[in-house]
Structure 1
């Protein structure tokens, strides 16, 4: 089922994926699995009804699902022959179980065995067997030692550094400056989170380089870690959306590795691949900037990367949307040209994807009601790798007012802001816009997320009760 789901994700057009993310957010994978289960259940009911006289409709349906599963596994980018064992066994056991149940109920209906207990007993036995098999499979899958490996890696990650005084306006109704790992947004194509051991992890850096590098987890740690606080944003984030988070990352500079390998003339991108077969391409000129702080991250907010966020190693590149920079469960890195197209580029997204200057209102909430009088409007603004210079806010189309900015932590992080208005009872509309340190003011022109990120001013409608 997971293989079919992953293949369905790969084949889904970009606008449909964008719609799913917009509607379901980080629950898009759960929605897909639930939808698949409902469709399979409906087809199973239909197959059962069609098989009342003869078993062949049900057998054909199960066989068709088996072939679909085999095809889905075979076309996966991380395909290995051993992966065919499960989709081959599933239709065989499924057809055997279906024929067993069909014989039991058919004999009962013919009157040769009037006691229906045989059918019920057979059903319960098959269900129990399936449950035991599933539990054994789950236990075997969890027996990789990945949890213990991550626990041991925790001793190598320094504690998180609290943000400086004045950097966090949470008390004004905004989000925390550092996003807890459990709340950090997650958008990727993996239905099943890879469970890798740090001890087994290897990275091959190859392609248009003078010297190939073959690195293990310990090789990275011996190089020394840098610590940077970085805001990451998803290109699918709508204006005012929450697909953006900030964390303190620990890792090894990508630039150092590239210089050690020796990048050859004509190379344009670093094409990185995940353990689950996902790939992306990051411009080399960005990665080679001395002050970019792009890294192979091993830690996040004072602990090893969570499995959902790429343990053991992932890419983190400030200032670029994640779909061209943030490969999780990283296992391969090839220096190459832009002729090689990555996963999302093939689906209509732009090759170059710098994060756009944006701002968001966190308080008041849309359609909320607050007391009339002094009303504090608060939110965040970001312009990664450029930095925020000012944020302006207006109510009901009036003049723009400059907001108070929180302490600046760095140009690669978001910045909190707040401003207070005195408002009468009634409905109001508040808007915000940010200006970065290069003097670029956030455009009010609304554009969708495809192909390189949404634009526009965020606005919130709320009421004041008097």
Structure 2
């Protein structure tokens, strides 16, 4: 067999295998797609330092980069399998079987896999072996070209059909049917002087489309509110199950909350603020009757992610949120419901697509990130950042430095700024909306033309001033004063 034909044979076998698995997964659960299951397994097995590198390097595009990287690797494996099988199909067949078994193992280890989920990787295995052996046979050039075109066409149709059918759950229709969410206790209006957008800070309320998203879900779970339920169990006197309608019929509260990702480097972007609508977790748990000795609320999402939150903190501050900025939660932010717990980093408190609340102890259960080296309890650290000027920029005219500070749930008392290592100067603060939200600041500096370096630091309402020492996010959040260098023209 010619090298070009051999390489194309292996590549088409890989494509056909993935397409067949994706098509079958559309009927047994999209998470059973071997491509997605292996990708999710890769995320689960990724060491913390590599995950942190991916987030810091690629940001919210880290999952897209992973999928593209997997596609490139699989394409290379397919081409190599074809090239080493030029005289006999046996090596390529073995490669197809091994890849199929990898898919089977990955699917069987998915926490959200159903009983029929294994059908998807088995279909992938069968398709890969059949296509490889079929295309490997010696035929006339015209017949070979026809077989290749037919295989490529069928694989494309199967892959597209799998994606379309797998996405057929009408999540948006379910969201629209909910209509307007009217809280019995609305959040106070945000004062117009809460931010300094004209000076370069973000708007105080982050729009849903701009709200940061960091999670482990390779594909966004698609759940209709009508089919969703939340199980509450564990160390409680009265286990219960709540439906979406039962939550909505309760007196809803609205709270303005700033959420922060532990992956944020000093000066990082993974922090946003929204008005969340929902019910108090504390009310639900007190109705269930928490037993003595419990110290953790262990939450699980539909796609298998888990998080452990300090029970006392959740009882005081936590929300089961079903709305965000006046509308039902967007699918990518947890629809139908998620947890929102002010004052804790998201990896221990902000479970999206939540379906299970287990009242337990830290000794019995560990959340997803704890065995991977992250801290068990993760209170948000007092921090601040400079939003304007941007680093290495050139400033003309007056020098306004503006930024953001946060210290949930203690609140920000003051922000100080200094230029070129000089004396600290106190910045003007925006309106104090809530101790559970960020606070904007600005200051005008009298700087001479030339290069300058500006630093900032925040002090919370307990009197604590953020640490100067630069520490990486692992294991419990970054520390350090944010600084930028720029030129005054």
TM-score range, shorter chain: over 0.9
Partner in structure 1 of residue 309 of structure 2: 282
Specify every segment of 5 or more residues in structure 1 that has no aligned partner in the other structure, as ranges.
108-112
Does residue 328 (structure 1) correspond to residue 331 (structure 2)? The answer is no
Q: Secondary structure at the match of 1:365?
A: coil
Q: Is this contact kept in 2: 1:157–1:303, CA < 8 A?
A: no
In structure 2, how many angstroms separate the alpha carbons of the residues matched to 1:55 and 1:152? 54
Does residue 358 (structure 1) correspond to residue 414 (structure 2)? The answer is no
Partner in structure 2 of residue 241 of structure 1: 268
1:151 pairs with one of 154, 176, 196: 176
Partner in structure 2 of residue 50 of structure 1: 84
2:439 pairs with one of 407, 410, 415: 415
1:188 pairs with one of 209, 215, 219: 215
In structure 1, how many angstroms separate the alpha carbons of the residues matched to 2:105 and 2:159? 22
Does residue 395 (structure 1) correspond to residue 407 (structure 2)? The answer is no
Q: Secondary structure at the match of 2:37?
A: helix
Q: Secondary structure at the match of 1:346?
A: coil
In structure 1, how many angstroms separate the alpha carbons of the residues matched to 2:378 and 2:196? 29
In structure 1, how many angstroms separate the alpha carbons of the residues matched to 2:235 and 2:37? 33
Name the Cα RMSD after superposition: 1.4
Structure 1 residue 160: Cα displacement: 9.3
The correspondence of residues 64-103 of structure 1 with structure 2, limited to 5 A, is: 64-103=98-137
Deviates more, 1:176-185 or 1:264-273: 176-185
In structure 2, how many angstroms separate the alpha carbons of the residues matched to 1:350 and 1:287? 17
Q: Secondary structure at the match of 1:136?
A: helix
In structure 2, how many angstroms separate the alpha carbons of the residues matched to 1:464 and 1:49? 60
The correspondence of residues 163-182 of structure 1 with structure 2, limited to 5 A, is: 163-182=190-209
Partner in structure 2 of residue 437 of structure 1: 461
In structure 1, how many angstroms separate the alpha carbons of the residues matched to 2:340 and 2:210? 18
Does residue 13 (structure 1) correspond to residue 56 (structure 2)? The answer is no
Partner in structure 2 of residue 461 of structure 1: 485
Does residue 126 (structure 1) correspond to residue 151 (structure 2)? The answer is yes
Structure 1 residue 462: Cα displacement: 1.1
1:259 pairs with one of 278, 286, 292: 286
In structure 1, how many angstroms separate the alpha carbons of the residues matched to 2:205 and 2:464? 26
1:37 pairs with one of 71, 76, 86: 71
In structure 2, how many angstroms separate the alpha carbons of the residues matched to 1:452 and 1:276? 24
Partner in structure 2 of residue 110 of structure 1: none
Structure 1 residue 63: Cα displacement: 1.1
Structure 1 residue 157: Cα displacement: 5.3
Structure 1 residue 220: Cα displacement: 0.4
In structure 2, how many angstroms separate the alpha carbons of the residues matched to 1:53 and 1:213? 63
1:220 pairs with one of 237, 240, 247: 247
- 1:70-101 Cα offsets, whole Å, 9 max, x none, are 00011112222211111000121122112222
In structure 1, how many angstroms separate the alpha carbons of the residues matched to 2:188 and 2:287? 30
Specify every segment of 5 or more residues in structure 2 that has no aligned partner in the other structure, as ranges.
1-34
Partner in structure 1 of residue 233 of structure 2: 206
TM-score, with normalisation over the residues of structure 2?
Answer: 0.90
Q: Secondary structure at the match of 2:371?
A: helix
Q: Is this contact kept in 1: 2:187–2:254, CA < 8 A?
A: no
Q: Is this contact kept in 2: 1:274–1:332, CA < 8 A?
A: yes
Deviates more, 1:430-439 or 1:15-24: 15-24
TM-score, with normalisation over the residues of structure 1?
Answer: 0.95
Aligned length, in residue pairs: 452
Partner in structure 1 of residue 162 of structure 2: 137
CA 1:122–1:157 in 2, change beyond 3 Å: closer, same or farther? farther
In structure 1, how many angstroms separate the alpha carbons of the residues matched to 2:462 and 2:352? 31
